Structure 1
Amino acid sequence: MSKSFDIIADQLFSAALLQPAGERAGFVREESAGNAQLERRVMKLLSAAGSPDEKLAGAFDTARESLWRDVLREEATAGEDLSGQCVDDWRLVRRLARGGLATVYLARREDGNFDQKAAFKVLRRGLDTDDVVARFRAERQILSTLEHPSIARILDGGAMGDGRPYLVLEFVDGLPITRYCDENGVELRGRIRLLMRVLEALHHAHKHLVVHRDIKPSNILVNAEGHVSLLDFGISKLLDPESLPGGGTLTRTGVALLTPGYGSPEQQAGRPVTTASDIYQVGLVAYELITGKRPFRDLRLPGHVETPLPSRSLDDGKLRREVTGDLDAIIGMAMHDDPGRRYASALDMRDDLQRYLDHRPIVARPDTLGYRFAKLARRRPWMVPAITVAILAVAGYLATLTVYNRQLEFEKRRAQAAENFMVDLLRSPDPFTPADPELGSSITVVEALDLGVARLGSGDIDDPALQASLLDSIAGVYASLDQHREAIELGEKALAIKRELHGDNAREALAGLVMLAQQHQAIGDYDTALGYREEELALAKRLFPESHPRVGAAEAGVAALQEALGNFEESARLYALGIAKMRQAPEEHSRPLINALAALSGLLDEPDPPEAAALLEEARALANELFGADSLSMALIHVQAATAASNYRDFETATREFRAALDIYEARLGRQHGATLTALNNLGVLHTRAGEQERAEQVFRELLELSEQKYGREHRSVAVQYQNLGTVVGRQGRFAEAVPLHRQAHEIFDATLPGHFMTAYPLISLAYADLQIGEPAAAEQAARGALEILGTSDSQAYAIGVARCLAALALEAQGAETEGQQWMVDARALLAGLSVDPIYQVACRL
């Protein structure tokens, strides 16, 4: 009995398990399509599914089928229904579906922050090992980066009380794409446009190194407004045996987790799955979308090379004529048995469909003169009478065509090289052909990226433009994983290549400048980050008119760095300029616009509360409309709203907003991501302001430990936690314990941000603590050190005033009362009209 037969039998068996018990026999008979041997084999397995466990050994005659035993045991609990139960923040409303691997429920968020529907998917027993859960969490961080309008997002994840992992997915209220088109009478060109939206979403995922593996009509939903959503991204990858311990062996022995009738030849053969497999499955869906039928009546055996043409399945003569030719060629190329002969990327297939809609020549067909002329005539019928005159230009046209064909061939070779690189990267964990023999199948995402970078540096890819593009892509993934220095190194290399190729005024350099600025800002190197932002702004002004939204986005980027450096007036001015320009195209520049609105709201919160509130509400509405209530952009709005509420001492509202932000960050990014740690830090500061010092100390001690694990000791984030911990310890009267904490904070700041105004803050706290333990000389030294760093900056008037006040108290305590009194007069003048911390109000006798 052949391996291919075993594979087909397993696929049909798994599909049959998804059917109601009374319909399984008919389903197997129909799908077997007259293959009596296949039907008998699958019915035997189904019969075993209802047998006592001790009888299973006789029914299963291959090693691969031992994997199914746990699944079949679970079949006895098929009636399990968790509806009505609460799991963490989710209440399970009703069961939507139950498959061979998971059960899906309609769920509602029950944490009181906001109302939200979701799809709650819980894994079957037997797949919830510690290793699978660990890989599941690592996968979730990558999937959290897939923010695309046509991708159903992962909202949350965790484990049930019995240890079974679960995922919470965006709930999409729609119909499968085939049913939507049929019930709404969508014509052919409309169906093609829907398919193009699917390919755009798929291209976004592939750029982030995520392969879907299970594209079928039921995973592509269209809502009443015609919006397309692609479901279950990464789920099939997560559950595929290749990602499980020993998974390569399971795949080799025939257990392939795919939907019968929608698997690519390489999936059915148990070979590694790549982005080309997704292209094949899109071709299958396109065939069914156009013809209303599947291309293969029975399950397709690997090695079957005939590619069906959709036009041959159509009875409607008019539709057949429209499909014959270009659409046949496009779908045929997508469904080619050889992955290397398919479209190199989802974007390539999308572009070919757009060419079809525009009546332009497609890549999938031979580019003959007659074919191009027919396309031209259909696109420009008024030119046909002038064809005689056009013959005089044939020679020039042929020359142009030759150049175009050479360019097209060059682009195809470039796309193929890119695909080969990404395929090798995605195959890194393959235990049979590991990219690194020492790491084998246990290789992590970061280690796989490191290997990809090494290959780029080896000279295997000699196309500079492709090399720059791949460097940018990998740098982006490093950045999403908080690997900032690796992202900077690759980003700088990519930027250098682009400048060499396109010159100093290259539009291609803009995105690279933004990424480098963001990464330098993330590691606390504000001056370098500001340099990149100013370079971005100068380039944007050379490329676009002064009033262009892209110039506004660059101005907002400079504003963010000015704010980080303490130049608040200049920051507010640049934010206002940038916002006014970006409002012309809010969807195109949505993220920088939302960030700028929230940031300017924070800067105006004290001088102009109504304007600050209006800006924050504008940012909230935009984030909710474009990205949803659970998006990272909305988390930023929650943080800013919490900060504003805290400034008005509305601690209840502030706590609620911070908790909402933390829920989003933890669900989307994980507990140790930089954004989550920042939100947690803000919550600790809130507890401090609310007088809840013990709760604040607990938060800051946890943050100090997490920050040192994540960044190492010499990092500004670690310094912030030492400073905050020293503050709350001091406010509980333990000043002797606070002194070394503030000193440690100053030393780290001084090493990582020499001369920065933040370096002065620990010295101010240290001066206050020294005064409390009777060390006025040490207090004077710390206060004078802070003043030397702060200089005479107007933006630091508050810190300068407090430092002069503490220096005055230190002088008085040492007997220099006259000098101390003069310093105190100067301090009070600086602090007049400012909101001063209560402990300094008392100390400075305000």
Structure 2
Amino acid sequence: MTLTDRELEDFRRLHPEQIGPYKIIRVLGEGGMGVVYEAAETEPVRRNVALKVVRAGLNSRDVRARFEAERQALALMDHAGIAKVLQAGETSAGEPYFAMELVKGLCLTDYCDAKRLSMNERLSIFVAVCRAVQHAHQKGVIHRDLKPSNVLVAEQDGKPQPKVIDFGIAKALGLRLTESTLVTYAGSTLGTAAYMSPEQAESSGLDVDTRTDIYSLGVILYELLVGRLPVDPSSQSIHAFLARLASGETNAPRPSTRFTGLGEHQAPIAHARRTNPEHLRRDLKGDVDWIVMKALDVDRSCRYETAVSMATDIERFLENRPVLARPHTALYRLRKFASRNRAGVAAASVAVVAVITGIVFAWTGMVRANRAEQIAASEAAAARQVSDFLVGLFKVSDPSEAAGNQLTARALLDSGARRSLAELRQQPALLGRMMHTIGSAYLGLGLYDDARRQLDQALSWRERSLGANDLAVAETELALGDALRSRGDMEAADRHYERALAIRQGALPADDPAVAKVFSSVASLRWKQGRTNDAETLYKRALAINERKLARDDPALAKNYAGLGVVYWAQQRFPEAEAMMRRSLAVEERRLGPDHPDLAALYNNLGGLYWSLERYADALALYSRTRAIYERTLDPMHPNMASVLNNIGEVHWKLGQHAEAEPLLRNALKIKEARLAPGDPAIAVTLNALAGTLRDAGRASESETAYKRALLIRQKALGSASPIVAETVVDYAKLLRGAGRGGEADALVAKHGPAR
């Protein structure tokens, strides 16, 4: 907006043009403390700052003392989440000022609403705020005026970075900030009422400690999630509100209860959190209610002791671990355990329950069709037996039955495998289904040998009880193929896929999605064998069926798009590869949201494509996102973890950061060698990258050893004509030429004949 001459004259009369080395640009805000300007520093460096001065007419002793306390408090702190103090001084009129880092961002609530951040995304930003406040507390400083407008969020490298500003009424703990530090005048109210703690609202405010900021954080979190304050001061006089607050009579409802009572306002609030009212209400209820209400406890001894303990509890919620804010019942611990192990325990338990439900429904339907009450009673007893089996599998509360309450997904599956064999042997069909489910869960955990053994037994029991051509047998044949392919036993995998396809094609229509599922698995095998043209054909056959038969958000479609994208990537058809990978991501993000663990592999693949295009920064961002998801959800020795560690190591190698690359690649190699077959080409991927890193770091002898191993594995698995083999030959030849062994390099290239 252009100022008129009169407005410009008024501005100049009210505000100086220059303060010290700072040229005033505009007013950012005015408040009880003073005026905040955006100003340009002209010397000794050129930069824009936030310049805070005491307003004319407010130069009283208490204001000046608080202002000096703020300057001193900020000078103590050095944290990415706290606005930095750059300089302090006095104006020509003797008014104190200080220059702060200029944060060009929105206040916390406005930023989250503008970006339509989900509840979990808001919680992640709030954790960073808690950690910034913790830093201040460790320096002996209480903020005492925490509110959304004092938390600005800017973006750095595309990621939100909250910064806490305005320690204007900070109180030092056991530390004399300045000679003129004043106690709060009796009866005066410092801070914004809506976010004020009960002890802060008392007349003296002398007995305030860091837990007053915990309460304020609780109010901020409440508003951030629900879109409303727990108690609104505007609903009554400020004096009545403060009196009730000081007496502890806040009667704040739980967040889920407050949201439920918002009626027609629920929909826009949920929309701003990228969900609907029903889902938001469900997400708030339970752990989030407990966390927020613990921070808002009127008895400060019942609040979180520190800001970091609040942050840690929120992180426990985000990681599906039991939160400390709520009582821990055995059922609650079990539910949390299952939620955070969705690749293992959740897969096992949910799948088993689904199997049982399916069996019960199928059997119930058969019973109704035959009108046989005796059979119904028999099958009901079987269902109870399976239910007892599951209860026993999860029971860990009795010390006589378990060493403790700390389960692992593998231990749970091992127990289930032993007990199913011992207790269900007289029911072979049910035993086969149970073993198939547990074997599939082992596969999800990356325990390929365990998966193969369990699935072999499942196949045997199913063939014995159902016949060799039953569709359930095909299901287990397909799972066995997946386990063997993942491990690197490609010939054995091919045999099981062939058998699964024959059964399904014999029993189902040619365009049934179950047939397409086999095409997709064989396509993945062909890609791993380096037969990319065959893989492309098979993925397209699967898509031709699934795009006609399945809903647009079906996960099978996303899997096909992702697989075809990887094939195009291997064929160096990079634009087509990116289009397919992004199409897959679009399907899964619509279905699951952007932070679901199932998206990790898609981010990893897209990162690999960007690596091939030498877009290393983009690749690293996606790899880092993948790694964070895997670290939350997978065993550290899972082969998928090896994949992303390998990829991050390759980025560091290409950036010349050899010291960072080597440990990542060696860790990836350790996992692969422990979990994969000795001749799996995935091992050669890491060996080749490690060899390149060592070569470029000047460690030729170690590099050559790794290249020889990589070449041997790739030749045996893929054949000499594979372009993947050519990659190792060319890289190895570069090492030899760099060592002055050009003749050997030429002989190597001639022998293996890399594609030109």
Give TM-score, length-normalised by structure 1.
0.47
State yes or no: 1:615 paired with 2:580.
yes
State yes or no: 1:722 paired with 2:690.
no
State yes or no: 1:433 paired with 2:468.
no
The offset of 1:575, in angstroms, is 0.9
Give the distance between the partners of 1:727 and 1:222, measured in 2 at CA: 44
1:472–1:494 Cα contact (<8 Å) kept? yes
Give the distance between the partners of 1:683 and 1:228, measured in 2 at CA: 35
- SS of the aligned residue for 2:495 comes to helix
Cα RMSD, aligned residues only: 5.5
- Structure 1: segments with no counterpart, 5+ residues: 1-81, 96-104, 118-167, 185-220, 240-256, 279-343, 356-361, 368-396, 781-804, 809-822, 833-846
Instruction: Give the match for residue 561 of structure 1.
Output: 525
State yes or no: 1:739 paired with 2:704.
yes
State yes or no: 1:701 paired with 2:666.
yes
Which letter does structure 2 place at the counterpart of 1:417?
Q
Matches within 5 A, 1:114-513: 224=276, 403-427=371-395, 429-434=396-401, 439=403, 444-458=408-422, 461-513=425-477
Relative to 1, partners in 2 of residues 1:524 and 1:440: Cα closer, same or farther, differing over 3 Å? same
Relative to 1, partners in 2 of residues 1:513 and 1:713: Cα closer, same or farther, differing over 3 Å? closer
The offset of 1:580, in angstroms, is 2.0
Q: Select the residue among 77, 81, 90 that pairs with 2:125.
A: 90
State yes or no: 1:635 paired with 2:576.
no
1:475–1:491 Cα contact (<8 Å) kept? yes
State yes or no: 1:807 paired with 2:748.
yes
Give the distance between the partners of 1:181 and 1:89, measured in 2 at CA: 26
Deviations 1:602-658 (A, max 9, x none): 333456544334322321210100121112342233223222223332222222222
1:550–1:582 Cα contact (<8 Å) kept? no
Instruction: Give the match for residue 218 of structure 2.
Output: none
Give the distance between the partners of 1:546 and 1:496, measured in 2 at CA: 27
- Structure 2: segments with no counterpart, 5+ residues: 1-107, 112-120, 131-146, 163-220, 228-254, 265-272, 292-323, 339-351
Instruction: Give the match for residue 547 of structure 1.
Output: 511
1:525–1:753 Cα contact (<8 Å) kept? no
- SS of the aligned residue for 1:584 comes to helix
Relative to 1, partners in 2 of residues 1:592 and 1:403: Cα closer, same or farther, differing over 3 Å? same
Deviations 1:350-382 (A, max 9, x none): 999x99xxxxxx99xxx9xxxxxxxxxxxxxxx
Give the distance between the partners of 1:477 and 1:745, measured in 2 at CA: 31
Instruction: Give the match for residue 627 of structure 2.
Output: 662
Relative to 1, partners in 2 of residues 1:177 and 1:563: Cα closer, same or farther, differing over 3 Å? farther
Once the two structures are overlaid, the 10-residue window that deviates more, 668-677 or 521-530, is 668-677
The offset of 1:573, in angstroms, is 1.0
Give the distance between the partners of 1:426 and 1:411, measured in 2 at CA: 23
2:630–2:641 Cα contact (<8 Å) kept? yes
Give the distance between the partners of 2:663 and 2:440, measured in 1 at CA: 34
The offset of 1:572, in angstroms, is 0.7
Relative to 1, partners in 2 of residues 1:696 and 1:442: Cα closer, same or farther, differing over 3 Å? closer
Give the distance between the partners of 2:717 and 2:398, measured in 1 at CA: 42
Give TM-score, length-normalised by structure 2.
0.51
- SS of the aligned residue for 2:126 comes to strand
Which letter does structure 2 place at the counterpart of 1:742?
Y
Relative to 1, partners in 2 of residues 1:506 and 1:645: Cα closer, same or farther, differing over 3 Å? same
Once the two structures are overlaid, the 10-residue window that deviates more, 657-666 or 763-772, is 763-772
State yes or no: 1:678 paired with 2:678.
no
Instruction: Give the match for residue 85 of structure 2.
Output: none
Q: Select the residue among 628, 640, 644 that pairs with 2:609.
A: 644
Which letter does structure 2 place at the counterpart of 1:454?
R
Instruction: Give the match for residue 597 of structure 1.
Output: 561
Deviations 1:561-590 (A, max 9, x none): 001001111111111111121112444983
Instruction: Give the match for residue 232 of structure 2.
Output: none
Give the distance between the partners of 1:349 and 1:177, measured in 2 at CA: 33
Which letter does structure 1 place at the counterpart of 2:125?
W
Relative to 1, partners in 2 of residues 1:529 and 1:116: Cα closer, same or farther, differing over 3 Å? farther
Give the distance between the partners of 2:502 and 2:551, measured in 1 at CA: 23
- SS of the aligned residue for 1:557 comes to helix
Give the distance between the partners of 2:623 and 2:730, measured in 1 at CA: 28
2:610–2:619 Cα contact (<8 Å) kept? yes
Deviations 1:535-575 (A, max 9, x none): 33333322322223332222111111001001111111111
Give the distance between the partners of 2:332 and 2:597, measured in 1 at CA: 33
State the identity %: 19
1:524–1:753 Cα contact (<8 Å) kept? no
2:452–2:484 Cα contact (<8 Å) kept? yes
Give the distance between the partners of 1:177 and 1:502, measured in 2 at CA: 52
The offset of 1:519, in angstroms, is 1.5
Instruction: Give the match for residue 546 of structure 2.
Output: 582
1:684–1:700 Cα contact (<8 Å) kept? yes
Deviations 1:670-718 (A, max 9, x none): 5443212202212222344455545433432343355556669887655
Give the distance between the partners of 1:494 and 1:601, measured in 2 at CA: 33
1:649–1:690 Cα contact (<8 Å) kept? no
The offset of 1:736, in angstroms, is 2.1
Matches within 5 A, 1:28-107: 90-92=125-127
Which letter does structure 2 place at the counterpart of 1:540?
R
Relative to 1, partners in 2 of residues 1:651 and 1:538: Cα closer, same or farther, differing over 3 Å? same
Relative to 1, partners in 2 of residues 1:272 and 1:653: Cα closer, same or farther, differing over 3 Å? closer
Once the two structures are overlaid, the 10-residue window that deviates more, 416-425 or 702-711, is 702-711
